[in-house]
Structure 1
Amino acid sequence: MKKPGRLLIIGIILYAGCMRTPIGLVSPLLTNIQRTLGVPASLLGSLTTIPLLCFALFSPFVPKLGQKYGNEVLMFVAVLILAIGNYLRVFSTAMLLGGTLLVGLSIAVLNVLMPVTIAQEYPQRVGVMTSVYTFSMTLFSALTSGQSVALAHQIGWQKTMQSVSVLAVLGLLFWLPALKNNHRATSGKKKGSSVWHARGAWYLSAFMGLQSLLFYTTLTWVPTILVSHGMSQGQASQLFGLMQLASLVTSYFVPILAYKFKRTRGIILSMTAGFLAGIGLLMVPTASVGLTVVVVVVLGLASNMAFSLAMALFNIKTDEPEQTAEISGMAQAVGYILAAFGPVGFGYLQQLTGSWNLPLILLLVVVVILALAGLAVDRRRTIFD
């Protein structure tokens, strides 16, 4: 491989590290943010909602911007904006909200175009590079969410949040070789058909949406559920970190297996079994550390299995990068709309019923629908069939 190829791999790893980290490290620092900036409690939830809405509303427009300016250039600009927006959001409430908006718009670009760029730059190694991308995203997110509070005690929460901007700037430096091979697509359609009119695209969008709903709902509420079962906040935090670390396994191997075998029925059924077991066991009100370790590990494996498979399917079920861009934009728009409602709806049902059982039962229903959508995609050679 030529030297620019090696540099670009590092760039992909660093860019992937910026795609969840700016959002994931906020939740553990909410108390610090509120105390220092005086942010109203009603606005704290928007620090997660704003990026999700950006993903949902902006993603469909990203492929067109890529066609106009080139994917690599657009991603470079997006990460530059991310670095600036993230750096500024620690100074005031207005900058916090404005910076979070810039971060959300920037990550929306990366979400859509990363699978496309991998297909264009590494057409013979798409499976391996998708694994590198999803693994890096998961690893950085797990490390930052687990260590952000400890780091904030050492250097302050402001510098802790701003450290993501350092990561972004490093990514920009390693992305420079990609600018020499800037891809401008002309069309993402096949035989005049829009991706929005393809039934297979809607199945894949449903799969992306439902796995996003499951991911963000469990990400938001699992620690609270564990505390309600009698665990301490410290235990719940450690087990939550274990859930994210467990997901590293599937984030690496699932894309490789999906590209190798093309048919993904086995992965989908394994994912479904994991979700059903993990969510079902969450309904058992126990403070047993042994059982809870099993629960969080199984949930972590299943959750990232679904996400990694969705990322792989964008390339597996399309014939050319332009189509990949369009289905990526569509599926992530639909997906993050569903994801934005998941945690809120789950919490509302718990408050309404006074129990976690009904919300968890509904999540089990979501898992079944997710599996059906995945199997419907698996039966098609491409989303246009």
Structure 2
Amino acid sequence: MEAVAPPASTLAAPVPAAIQTGPAARPRGTALILAGILLVALNLRVAITSLGALLEEVRTGLHLSGAMAGVVTTMPTIAFAAFGALAPWLVRRFTAGRIVLAAMVALLAGEAVRVATGSTVVFIATSAVALAGIAVANILLPLLVRQHFPHRTGLVTGAYTVSLTIGASVAAASAVPIADAFGSWRAGLGAWSLLAVIAMLPWLPAVFRRRTTQAAVAPLAARVRPARTRVGWAMAIYFGAQALSGHATMGWLAQLFRDSGYRPQTAGLLLAGVTAVGIPVALVMPALAMRLNNLRPLVLGLSATMIASYVGLAIAPHDGAVVWVVLLSIGQGAFPLALVAIGLRARTPEGTVALSAFTQCLGYLIAALGPLVVGALYELTGGWNLPLGFLIGAAVVQIVAGLAVARPRFVED
């Protein structure tokens, strides 16, 4: 990171001790911090994908209407946008370790209470509490990586992205078998609370560390406003465009393969293949980005691969399915690229958390449109050409925004 950014000491305002990145500010027990980051990442999608796998059982058990089920499935992206905006405010008042610990407590409380209630209102409210914890942790992970691993940013970003992906995949695949084994959907959702408890353990020492005063934070925080910068908007649009495609794929790709003639089980395996192939891509992409002076080749290559996959799905969805799945997996390497780019486009830790919050909050609002628009176009036309055309258009927007992100400039400037 320091190879492309001047040290924070060149800025007029001091960097608060809570978020400094120098050796003096780095706590002992780096291995414990790394374990904490990976365990938090493991939790960031399990509450969502396990619910998706058991949605029909939850609807039956809680007597949810179709409209309420729609609210439940749309909540994650809205919650990520709404609650993620709190992260910069929290960082100005508490250490990052304490905030992460509190986020995991919120996740645990939401997961535990929602499986014990028979009320639709309480279920939705406690799901929102769990999602609030996830949203704040989403924003803080890039800051924690920069704070504790300034010379291994790409490698650690790739590692926690893989951890996130594994958590999402395992929860989606295991929720139904767990529910069947225990005879209740509540077990299939509640089992993942244990992961949140485990993720808290590495962050418990943060409770006993001295709280940093906020006096040093305010001058710098007031100056870092991504919404007033071109790089901030470029990052948010790039993140939003790639997340839109990712969420639309998760929601509708299996249906596309079923419509092309595959059995439901095979269509599900093809969808799982997108995640499986994407794991090594997620591990390699951030480290590769850190080695390049300009991100333009990665932006163009990933977006072009994604467009090629969509064109193939429109022309030959059955015969070329495996090829299109592989290409789509590579193209979705834009997600870990976007995460590492947040750190590359900020000079300071405060800039990192401000840019992370703005990028992910606005980006997830954009992403919420993906499944909705694709579903509406599919229902309107009864086919996949128009929905895939919409996703190709999103990929073009991703290219334009990504080329702006690729330029070596910083949100503090």
Q: Same fold (TM over 0.5)?
A: yes
Q: Normalised by the shorter chain, which TM-score bucket?
A: over 0.9
8 Å Cα contact 2:351-2:411 kept in structure 1: no
Instruction: Return the offset for 1:78.
Output: 1.1
Paired letter, 2:348: E
Superposed CA RMSD = 2.1
Q: Supply the distance in 2 between the matched residues of 1:234 and 1:206 (Cα, whole angstroms).
A: 35
Q: Could you tell me which residue of structure 1 aligns to residue 35 of structure 2? A: 10
For 1:163 and 1:119, the matched residues in 2 are separated by 32
Find the aligned partners of 1:25 and 1:263 in 2 and give their Cα distance.
Answer: 38
- The correspondence of residues 273-284 of structure 1 with structure 2, limited to 5 A, is 273-284=304-315
1:264 and 2:295 matched: yes
How many correspondences in the alignment? 382
Please report how far the alpha carbon of residue 45 of structure 1 lies from its aligned counterpart in structure 2 after TM superposition: 2.0
SS at match of 1:207: helix
Q: Secondary structure at the match of 2:347?
A: coil
Question: Contact 2:307–2:395 at 8 Å: present in 1 too?
Answer: yes
- Give the match for residue 234 of structure 1: 265
Q: 1:309 to 1:274 in 2, by over 3 A?
A: same
Kept after mapping to 2: 8 A contact 1:72/1:182? no
| Equivalent residue, structure 2, for 1:35 | 60
How far the C-alpha of 1:333 sits from its partner, in A, is 1.3
Write the letter of the residue equivalent to 1:39: L
Instruction: Give the alignment partner of residue 215 of structure 1, picking from 222, 227, 246.
Output: 246
In terms of fraction of residues, the more helix-rich structure is: 1
Q: Distance in 1 between matches of 2:175 and 2:375?
A: 25
* 8 Å contact from structure 2 (residues 286, 340) kept in 1: yes
Which residue number in structure 1 is paired with residue 168 of structure 2?
141
The answer to whether the Cα contact below 8 Å between 1:60 and 1:326 also exists between their aligned partners in 2 is no
Q: Give CA-to-partner distance per residue, 1:152-193, whole Å, 9 cap, x none.
A: 222332122112210000010122234438776715858946
Q: Distance in 1 between matches of 2:221 and 2:92?
A: 16
Corresponding residue to 2:99 among 61, 74, 80: 74
Matches within 5 A, 1:105-184: 105-155=132-182, 156-179=184-207, 180=209
- Residue identity over aligned pairs, in percent, reads 29
The alpha carbon displacement at 1:285 in A equals: 5.1
Query: Is the radius of gyration larger for structure 1 or structure 2?
Result: 2
Q: Which residue of 2 aligns with 1:49?
A: 74
Distance 1:381 1:225 in 2: 40
Q: Deviations over 1:22-65 (max 9, x none)?
A: 11121121111122222222211222211211111222231111
Aligned to 1:330: 358
Matched, 1:373 2:401: yes
CA–CA distance in 2 between the matches of 1:328 and 1:216? 19
Larger deviation, residues 3-12 vs 18-27: 3-12
Q: Distance in 1 between matches of 2:336 and 2:308?
A: 19
Q: Is 2:340 aligned against 1:312? A: yes
d(CA) in 2 for partners of 1:232, 1:137: 28
- What is the rounded CA distance, in whole Å, between the counterparts of 2:248 and 2:69 in structure 1? 17
| C-alpha contact (below 8 Å) 2:224/2:350 kept by paired residues | no
Could you report, residue by residue, the CA deviation over 1:53-89 in whole angstroms, capped at 9, with x for unpaired residues?
Answer: 1111222231111111222111111110101101111
Deviations 1:104-123 (A, max 9, x none): 21111011111111111222
Task: Look up the match of 1:292.
Answer: 321
| Equivalent AA in structure 1 for residue 168 of structure 2 | S
Where does the alignment leave 5 or more consecutive residues of structure 2 unmatched? 1-25
Tell me, what secondary structure is at the counterpart of 2:402?
A: helix
Q: Give, in whole Å, the separation in 1 of the partners of 2:283 and 2:141.
A: 16
- The 3-state SS of whatever aligns with 1:375 is helix
Over 3 Å counting, the alpha-carbon distance change for 1:76 and 1:182 in structure 2 is farther
Identify unmatched segments of 5+ residues in structure 1: none
Are the counterparts in 2 of residues 188 and 323 from structure 1 also a CA contact under 8 Å? no
Aligned pair in 2 of structure 1 residues 75, 191: CA closer, same or farther (>3 Å)? Answer: closer
Distance 1:178 1:7 in 2: 12
Closer/same/farther in 2, CA of residues 77 and 292 from structure 1, 3 Å limit = same
2 CA distance for matches of 1:315 and 1:349? 36
The verdict on how the C-alpha distance between 1:189 and 1:349 changes in structure 2, with shifts beyond 3 A counting, is farther
Whole-angstrom distance in 2 between the partners of 1:49 and 1:377: 28
Partner residue, 1:363:
391
The aligned runs of 1:82-101 (5 Å cut-off) are: 82-90=107-115, 91-92=117-118, 93-101=120-128
SS of 2:145 mapped into structure 1: helix
